[in-house]
Amino acid sequence: MFHMSLGWAGHGSKWLRPGGAGSPEVEYGDTVDQNKDDVMADLNEIAVIGNQGKVYGGIGGSNQGIDFNSATNRDPNLNTAGGFKDDSQLHKSTIGEGERVDAHHEEVLFMDTKRRRPNGEIDNAEINLAKKIIRMISTRKQRVMVVPCPAQGHVKPLVLFSHKLAQHGFRITFVYTDFDHNRISTAMKDDEDDDDGDNNIEFVSIPDGLRPEDDRGDLGNLCKANLETIPAELEKLITTINGSSNNYENNISCLVSDVYLGCAMEVATKLGIKGAVFCPSSAALLVHARYIPNMVSQGIMDESDGTSIHKQIIQLSPNMPSINTEKFPWTIDGSTKQKRLFQVYFKACQASEIAEWCLCNTTYDIESSALSLNPKFLSIGPLMANQANNSSDIPGSQFWAEDSSCLNWLDQQKPCSVIYIAFGSLTIHDNTQILELARGLELIGKPFLWVVRPGFVSGDLEHEFDPLRILGNNNFGKLVSWAPQQKVLSHPSIACFVSHCGWNSTIEGLSNGVPFLCWPYFGDQFLDKAYICDVWKVGIELEPSESGIILSQEIEIKVNKLLGDEEIRKKSIQLKEMILKNIAKDGQSSKNLDKFIKCG
């Protein structure tokens, strides 16, 4: 607690030091006391900022003040004795002459540089002391809690974001589920290159409510955890942390949550702490989520599960991808799964309204139309590209250990010769589709790097899957279970990216100027595919046959077409340059991130 008698000393005296005039200058934690005759306290000289940006204050006796560090006075819903809740009651008469106001050091902003003495003079010593205290107060950093959805594509960008905050002195408490914490710890042990990370970041975990045998790769299970268990566990964790410390600085003062963990903002509001949401997807996806109430009221979709009522094509703004209502991002097989996923998107809509900030892992130049639809959207990415060639060097961001041996293999390949194939953390293909892909690669006859994570292949083939065996003696490929993707995509040997079009993969490919062969699997990946093929024009789409399978001949034809399209390659390089400009020190994304850091 930083106790201070605020005001200007009368009779020509200076600001008094602790213990009286001539004492050492004020240091953190000191109490500055002044005699009644020397003090003209005036609440117009300060603004006491509460957790939700409201102005608080109160009347203190001659020997006591209002303690803004107490739970009672911090609660915006209570009007306690001697306190008030809005700036309309801030008047000179509120605090009497000589009375003392106590406020936490982070909650006081001096506004007295225009105050003059009765004779009209301004005392520079007094102003300098006030400025010193302001600097001291402003350099004290908050403790921020960061919470992602329990999926690889959500954890990774939020870990990167946490490191950005930590580099600016913020103390981060990063929250995994227990299950994810265990597998990330295992991945870090298996990765010899991982260091201990940033000392300003601590990793903690909470239960997800699922049984040990439940599949965490199942979207229905993930949505169930998001909606039913994680919010209550999060509230319990914050309450425990903030209730166990006598030092206010150890309390969680700001919650940054994945926007698709929308219930977290309700927790922040309930506990009276600042809240921001982080959008790990395209801004266009969040725009569609925010448009859900309108689409329901217009009869476009069913309000219970988001099912399309009439098939149509929707485009919310020029230069945004159009979307087929039969392929809404929340449209998946299984009525229960879809209801849960639709509820997640609806909660995201609400969370983006509640939160003080809506941070988007994108850049203005590639999503200007979507970002312009809401002034609260702040583009701060792509965070993947912000960390040049080092995503694998960020501890705590990967569910599986990365196989860096592929980088040595890439070093042995010719420039722009390798087909990189990766389908993210949730895609599953059956035996028939895998065999078609392998045959397509054989027909193409070019070097390939193929990521086959655990659980990627359904059916019996998973236990004996080996594309190199399927391809016979044409040993021109490399197979890994998980790759350092940012490093792979930046390698000069990469010719194109066969991708599921998840947003992380999309922005990593864009930031390295790599053309796409699009193979979306579900959800927002179709929206990202539309960006890539129709808006940015840096890739082409693989078309399934009538049976729903993408055939080997289709793969061969489209890969050869993509590699021979100089216009696509040219546009890919142009987009890369735009993105790198945005994330440079003086770029728009960097400025936006600095804006959040300074104001958050």
6-54 per-position pLDDT tens digit: 332 222 222 322 333 333 444 434 444 433 333 333 333 333 333 333 3
Q: Which residue do the tokens 């930590």 mark? A: 166
Q: Do 378 and 436 fall within a single domain?
A: no
Contact of 344 with 227, CB cutoff 8 Å = yes
Q: Among 105-109, 377-381, 570-574, which is the least confidently predicted range?
A: 105-109
Question: Is residue 521 in a domain?
Answer: yes
Q: Do 262 and 201 fall within a single domain?
A: yes
**How long is the chain?**
600
Among residues 565, 560, 559, the alpha carbon closest in space to that of 421 is found at: 559
Question: Is residue 122 in a domain?
Answer: no
Summarised one tens digit per residue, pLDDT across range 378-395 is 999 999 644 444 445 577
Q: Do 209 and 345 fall within a single domain?
A: yes
Question: Is residue 40 in a domain?
Answer: no
User: Residue 327 above 90 pLDDT?
Assistant: no
- C-alpha to C-alpha distance for 423 and 520, rounded to whole angstroms: 9
- What are the respective helix, strand and coil percentages of the chain, to the nearest 5? 40, 15, 45
- C-alpha to C-alpha distance for 178 and 185, rounded to whole angstroms: 11
Q: Do 483 and 535 fall within a single domain?
A: yes
- C-alpha to C-alpha distance for 74 and 384, rounded to whole angstroms: 38
Q: What is the mean pLDDT of the chain?
A: 78
Q: At a CB cut-off of 8 Å and minimum separation 6, what does 482 contact?
A: 398, 400, 401, 402, 403, 451, 453
Q: Do 464 and 318 fall within a single domain?
A: no
Q: At a CB cut-off of 8 Å and minimum separation 6, what does 324 contact?
A: 311, 312, 313, 526
Q: At a CB cut-off of 8 Å and minimum separation 6, what does 216 contact?
A: 150, 179, 180, 208, 210, 222
Q: Cα angle at 185 between 487 and 158, to 5 degrees?
A: 55
Question: Is residue 444 in a domain?
Answer: yes
Q: Do 217 and 323 fall within a single domain?
A: yes
Question: Is residue 30 in a domain?
Answer: no
Question: Is residue 273 in a domain?
Answer: yes
Number of domains in the chain: 2
Q: Do 449 and 528 fall within a single domain?
A: yes
Q: Do 263 and 303 fall within a single domain?
A: yes
Q: Do 367 and 500 fall within a single domain?
A: no
* pTM of the predicted protein model: 0.76
Q: Do 361 and 414 fall within a single domain?
A: no
Q: Cα angle at 150 between 148 and 153, to 5 degrees?
A: 75
Question: Is residue 130 in a domain?
Answer: no
Q: Which residue do the tokens 């406020």 mark? A: 103
- C-alpha to C-alpha distance for 387 and 556, rounded to whole angstroms: 34
Q: Do 203 and 255 fall within a single domain?
A: yes
pLDDT of the residue at 426: 84
Residue 564, classified by CB atoms within 10 Å of its CB into exposed (0-12), middle (13-18) or buried (19+), is exposed
Domain of 358 in residue numbering reads as: 140-385+584-598
Question: Is residue 116 in a domain?
Answer: no
pLDDT of the residue at 9: 28
- C-alpha to C-alpha distance for 452 and 188, rounded to whole angstroms: 19
What's the average model confidence in pLDDT over 128-149? Answer: 69
Summarised one tens digit per residue, pLDDT across range 452-485 is 988 777 765 555 556 556 555 556 899 999 999 9
Q: Do 195 and 155 fall within a single domain?
A: yes
We report the CATH number of the domain holding residue 560 as 3.40.50.2000
